[in-house]
Copies of this chain bind each other. A is one copy, B any other.
């Protein structure tokens, strides 16, 4: 349900998102996840993708597709955090048609934060963690 998510972003589709079967290709939902998560990290949690010492790398993602969407519609992407660990965070995402309550797809995405140079895990930096705590659910 929409109420289960803590942050929302409306994401428009693009012409080429539709594949030969006339609907948004399954791959695109992951581009939406990446965009939703990183837009939030940059805008609400202070992530600096160009110079920050810690960067988030995806170690796992998953999506279940319930019903199709198609260009030129937009989707509302809902974001919450299901598990917030020392170095890793599991985001949970639901996509809904604009103004409707039936989920079209839902999934999760796990970031491990690593040192930009060595690419070894580091604790999630405090400003990021504080912001993330606001998205954690039950």
Contacts and interface: CB of A to CB of B under 8 A. Distances in A.
Interface of A: 11-12, 14-16, 18-22, 25-28, 30-32, 34-35, 37-39, 42-43, 49-50, 55, 57-65, 68, 71-72, 119
Contacts of A34: 14-16, 25-27
A14 B26 contact: no
Contact of A30 (B27, B37, B55, B57): B27
B65 A59 contact: yes
A4 B16 CA distance: 27
10 contacts: A15-B37, A19-B20, A20-B20, A20-B49, A21-B55, A27-B31, A42-B72, A57-B65, A60-B64, A62-B62
